[in-house]
Structure 1
Amino acid sequence: MPYPFVLPTTSSFSFSSSVTSESHPSLPLQASTHRGVVRDTLKKHKRLPTTSHAPSLPSVITALQTYLPYLLAVEAGLSNNPIHGEQVLVTLKTAPQIEWRPTLSNSPHPGREPPRIKIHSLAHELVFTLSTLANAHTLLARAALQPLHQTTTAPVGTAARQTAVATATRHLLDAAAIYAHLTSLAAPPPPTQCADLAPALLLAQRALALAEATLLAVLKDDPYPAAAAQARNPHDTEWMYKAPDMPKVRAHLFARLCLAAAEHAAQACALAGQARASEGFERYLEDLRRTSRARACRFFGVDAELGGETGKAIAWLRAGLGELGVRRKGDEGKGSGGGFRGLKKEWGARREDKKVERGLDWGADAGKLEETRVIEMLEAKWTKQNDMMLTQAIPPTGPLLAQMPSGREIHSIKPFEPPVLSADVLEAMRAPPERSDEIGNYPSSDEETAVDPSPVGGRSGDYRTGTPSYF
């Protein structure tokens, strides 16, 4: 958590092949130049090892933010919208021929990434560019949160933890603002096989970013995940003698925030299904909805336990495990494979810890494993206390779930302000271009070298050598 997006790649494109500007002749060349930087940056990012993706994200965001003003200037010229009160005259000569590789669409070949999509509109080019920027912000949020989940190093201090959560929240709200802006754009209907351009999927990603930002508002002051991680960390022993503190009022507030996140996740899941997004993305959204409701149950349990109702608190924890789809040890009958299931669960938990340590696709289950660990830790502790001292009856979970209140919002999405070229840069592009706007024979940023035009059976000296691409 947040979702491990894969950044798309794109083909090269010359704006001069499709548009011309009478008032600012250098605009198509400048737009092509900065788009070429974006293409090369995305290509380099994709070919880096997974552990090196996070350090390259700032360069990806910088390239996209530098290219956007030029693309928006071309769009403004085509739409007759002035920039700084000045009219930019842009004429469309022919429909653009651009390729992007979607990342949230279903692939016709399981196990392989979906094929490249050909788009013929600069409005779709803008959607791909802005959505890539939003996904990069989400990945930066993941990078900021990764140290909080590591168990092989010393635990992160309170101040560093709050700083990491605040940084991740800011990136997620920036992503949500971009998605909200995309849904307001008047773009032509996307290709049927490309879910990435579907308005429903853009709305789903906005709801997802808002749900994850809401959960981070809870994580900032939630001591229980850190306590569960400390119990597995050989470098920390504080959990042995100090119990987490949680004021009663905040426990109930956190539960309602989690329910709001669950509502956003449910909305995102429905929209993603409508857009026919990839199965992995839809599965993540469903897992996030379940995790959010389970976390709400945990906080209702904390609220009940602080009020002296230990039996009710245990019932809330069991309701949370039911939301996660986790079977309790006591519910497993003979011959149900409980021993094998326990080994499989332990092996999966260790594998997830290694993913966090190496910076791989950790959190792909939307935090289900982490929340399961926290709930099982509290259930074991409170059940032991109840059996030895309190002996309170544990009520059924059904009536408790029926009494859940509505969610409570905490974040508001600020409007996204598209970048605009400065007046000086715009004025400088009135001069004719210094060179022609030509591109090489590179149809996609997925390819390492151009296609060799030499015929089969030619001389050995006619063949070109190069490093093949496996991406």
Structure 2
Amino acid sequence: MPFQFILPTTKRFFFSSSIACESHPSLPLNASTHRGVLGDSLKKHKQLPAASQAPNLPSVISNLNNYLPYLLAIDAGLSNKSVFGEQLSVVLTSTPAIKWRPTLSDYAIPGKEISRVKVQSLEYELFFTLSTLGYTNTLLARYTLHPLYITSGPLLGPQERTKIITTATKYLLDAASAHDYVARRAESLTTIPPCPDISQSTARAMSLLALAEATLLAVLKDDPYPAAVAQDRNENDREWMYKAPEIPKVRAHLFARLCLAAADHAAQASSLCKSPGRGSSKLNEGLLRYLEDFRRTSRAKACRFFAIDAELSGQTGSALGWLRCGFQELGIEYKETKKGLSLSRMKKDWTERREDKKIERGTNWGTDAGKLEETRVIEMLDAKWTKINDTMLTQAIPSPGTLLASLPSGRDMHTIKPYQPPELERESLESMRAPPDGPDNYQGVELSSDDEEGTALASPVGAFPGTHEDYRSASTRSYY
């Protein structure tokens, strides 16, 4: 299940304060207008309740795609590149001062929002915008996949599941393309980025993570076991009364290699996020923990598919050995299933019920990258095959170390396609040859996007007028 990103926000910025365009004088005004719409939509998205944010994502995507052509046109003009065969004479008149609030950086003070960073390059403005596009596509994939995990409603049919997974895969591959574009452009830069969110290593890591998540979706589309476990937990299911769940044969060896490829991508992403040289600037622990959980879950899935392949060949002992490899990859100590009550069983049941409630609410679910779901599947198969092996076959169970040493290499399912930046329409480009109707620095009554600091703070009781700043702490920005 895709990572739950938080979209960054930005303060209002006027391009006419930093650039001039003699050939197309209205370009700065149009760019500022579309950027203002994007900033307002990001601010409103952040202020929405958690349950209402997902339906608002298409609007954010639309505003991002409306702003990018103007930003890329300015970038083309500064780089002496043509747009539709026309040369844009864009000149940088002063150093831009753009503020973004990053969301992947680690929190300096737990519970306190990260401070904004000042971006003094239009290149980094482009990086923030494209990274936001990648995050939004990933969140759209997450929103699309949510119905697959709900156990309180009716079960989805094979066609519905396939349609959902195909749509989510497209969103993830679009996210991977956007992050890959940022990573490729960042390779030629020699300046230090203002925050780790838009560094070359982070962009590459996010591209690999999206590719890994899309690879696992290719497995989920034809993997019947998670659906069987979810059906067993569904209170509305009545099929168990008249038939057992149908488990069709799967291409177990192929799926195992796809899972190993996803694990390799996640491992590379985790290594890039932990790369040395960041100093005090590092990514938050939630993302790093998700990457590690995703790697473990992917390897556990591979072990499960090797177990299924062995069981289909009549090697139940080897199958149980592979399942124990899966427990080991998940970091779970293997214990034989015992009936009755115990403290560990009660704790496990409580954790599962809590995760199920998160899924039903649709907020903050899947933060363990699917570890709990994969644990349920492996436990189901282990209990079933152990009973068969103990009563009928009595085959020897090989040690996990021996089996893990024979793991093959991974196999990729998807490739990251080059990102196709949106372009201005020729009519829009021609219309910007006319001078602008007015300046683009009109403030209006709307506060700048996510501008908590722009809100006037009341003076403390008894303070002398005009001295309220003396009552504020520089570190906490709160009154003593």
TM-score, normalization: structure 1?
0.92
- Which residue identity is paired with 1:224? Y
**CA shift at 1:89, angstroms?**
0.6
Does residue 283 (structure 1) correspond to residue 289 (structure 2)? The answer is yes
Rounded to whole Å, the distance in 2 between the matches of 1:343 and 1:453 is 49
Listed one character per residue, the Cα deviations across residues 121-175 of structure 1 (whole Å, up to 9, x for unaligned) are 0100000000100110000000110000011111111111000000000000011
Does residue 342 (structure 1) correspond to residue 348 (structure 2)? The answer is no
Is this contact kept in 2: 1:172–1:210, CA < 8 A? yes
Helix, strand or coil at the partner of 1:100: strand
Does residue 321 (structure 1) correspond to residue 324 (structure 2)? The answer is no
Helix, strand or coil at the partner of 1:438: coil
Helix, strand or coil at the partner of 2:20: strand
Helix, strand or coil at the partner of 2:336: helix
What value does the CA root-mean-square deviation take over the aligned residues? 2.2
- Counterparts in 2 of 1:281 and 1:444: CA distance versus 1, 3 Å: farther
Rounded to whole Å, the distance in 2 between the matches of 1:231 and 1:293 is 24
Equivalent positions of 1:210-221 (< 5 A) are 210-221=211-222
Listed one character per residue, the Cα deviations across residues 276-301 of structure 1 (whole Å, up to 9, x for unaligned) are 32111111000000000000000000
**CA shift at 1:457, angstroms?**
6.4
Match of 2:108 in 1: 108
Match of 1:196 in 2: 197
Rounded to whole Å, the distance in 2 between the matches of 1:439 and 1:169 is 41
Is this contact kept in 2: 1:224–1:374, CA < 8 A? yes
Is this contact kept in 1: 2:337–2:383, CA < 8 A? no
Rounded to whole Å, the distance in 1 between the matches of 2:207 and 2:40 is 27
Match of 1:178 in 2: 178
Aligned mate of 1:292, from 293, 298, 312: 298
- Which residue identity is paired with 1:329? K
Rounded to whole Å, the distance in 2 between the matches of 1:26 and 1:192 is 30
Equivalent positions of 1:17-32 (< 5 A) are 17-32=17-32
Match of 2:63 in 1: 63
Listed one character per residue, the Cα deviations across residues 220-245 of structure 1 (whole Å, up to 9, x for unaligned) are 00000000101100111435733443
- Counterparts in 2 of 1:7 and 1:119: CA distance versus 1, 3 Å: same
User: Which 10-residue stretch deviates more, 339-348 or 65-74?
Assistant: 339-348
Match of 1:368 in 2: 371
Q: Which runs of 5+ in 2 are unaligned?
A: 467-480
Rounded to whole Å, the distance in 2 between the matches of 1:457 and 1:66 is 48
- Counterparts in 2 of 1:121 and 1:224: CA distance versus 1, 3 Å: same
Rounded to whole Å, the distance in 1 between the matches of 2:113 and 2:364 is 16
Aligned mate of 1:445, from 444, 449, 458: 449
Listed one character per residue, the Cα deviations across residues 230-280 of structure 1 (whole Å, up to 9, x for unaligned) are 1100111435733443436x1111001000000000000000111632111
Match of 1:465 in 2: none
Rounded to whole Å, the distance in 2 between the matches of 1:258 and 1:453 is 53
Match of 1:303 in 2: 309
- Which residue identity is paired with 2:83? I
Rounded to whole Å, the distance in 2 between the matches of 1:436 and 1:13 is 13
Is this contact kept in 2: 1:105–1:193, CA < 8 A? no
Helix, strand or coil at the partner of 1:91: strand
Is this contact kept in 2: 1:287–1:365, CA < 8 A? yes
Equivalent positions of 1:29-428 (< 5 A) are 29-186=29-186, 188=189, 194-238=195-239, 241-247=243-249, 250-274=251-275, 276-330=282-336, 339-428=342-431
- Which residue identity is paired with 1:231? D
Match of 1:335 in 2: none
Is this contact kept in 1: 2:260–2:409, CA < 8 A? yes
Match of 2:16 in 1: 16
Is this contact kept in 2: 1:124–1:190, CA < 8 A? no
Percent of aligned positions that are identical: 57
Is this contact kept in 2: 1:12–1:439, CA < 8 A? no
- Which residue identity is paired with 1:235? N
- Which residue identity is paired with 2:401? G
Match of 1:467 in 2: none
Is this contact kept in 1: 2:7–2:132, CA < 8 A? yes
Listed one character per residue, the Cα deviations across residues 383-430 of structure 1 (whole Å, up to 9, x for unaligned) are 111112222121111110000100011101111111111111101000
User: Which 10-residue stretch deviates more, 404-413 or 235-244?
Assistant: 235-244
Rounded to whole Å, the distance in 1 between the matches of 2:161 and 2:377 is 18
- Counterparts in 2 of 1:193 and 1:114: CA distance versus 1, 3 Å: farther
- Which residue identity is paired with 1:365? D
Helix, strand or coil at the partner of 2:91: strand
Helix, strand or coil at the partner of 2:86: coil
Rounded to whole Å, the distance in 1 between the matches of 2:144 and 2:115 is 31
Rounded to whole Å, the distance in 2 between the matches of 1:132 and 1:105 is 14
- Which residue identity is paired with 1:384? K
- Which residue identity is paired with 2:326? G
Helix, strand or coil at the partner of 1:185: helix
Helix, strand or coil at the partner of 2:99: strand
- Counterparts in 2 of 1:454 and 1:214: CA distance versus 1, 3 Å: closer
Is this contact kept in 1: 2:131–2:198, CA < 8 A? no
Rounded to whole Å, the distance in 2 between the matches of 1:435 and 1:153 is 55
**CA shift at 1:12, angstroms?**
0.3
**CA shift at 1:346, angstroms?**
1.5
User: Which 10-residue stretch deviates more, 123-132 or 415-424?
Assistant: 415-424
TM-score, normalization: structure 2?
0.90
**CA shift at 1:453, angstroms?**
9.3
- Which residue identity is paired with 1:383? T
